[in-house]
Structure 1
Amino acid sequence: PGHDLAILVMCHHNIISTGTFGWWGAWLNRGMTIFYQDWPKPNSTLASLFVKDEFFLPYWIGMS
């Protein structure tokens, strides 16, 4: 995992899932990041606990 994270950090672009491993790779490299913006599903239990602005950085690009 350490080598994989180091490779992610060296990338210029990231397409990440909703998991924390990709999130840390994207956050550490500060490059262009694309994420799935329709997560969590609206009106779900997680959506009521989750603040997107605190998880996804403002310069990351959301795609649905």
Structure 2
Amino acid sequence: MTTPDIRVEKGHAEPEEVAALTAILLARAAGKAAAVPSVGFGRDKAGWRRLERTPGFRAPHSWQG
């Protein structure tokens, strides 16, 4: 017997409910793959900060941690 790909962590789900959830997840995954543009080479701006441009001190209560 193989292990299932989807497992109910809390409560009890009927096989029909698990099948419906699987269909929704697969449809969303297929929709996102089709929505990704095929043109482009990445972001316009870097996803990281340059340390030399940040101030030397951040307050302990700062959200930028």
Q: Is the TM value for this pair above 0.5?
A: no
Whose helix proportion is higher, 1 or 2? Answer: 1
Which of structures 1 and 2 has the bigger CA Rg? Answer: 2
Whose strand proportion is higher, 1 or 2? Answer: 1
Q: TM-score, normalised by structure 2?
A: 0.24
Q: TM-score, normalised by structure 1?
A: 0.24
Using CA pairs under 8 Å that are at least 6 residues apart, name the structure with larger relative contact order, 1 or 2.
1
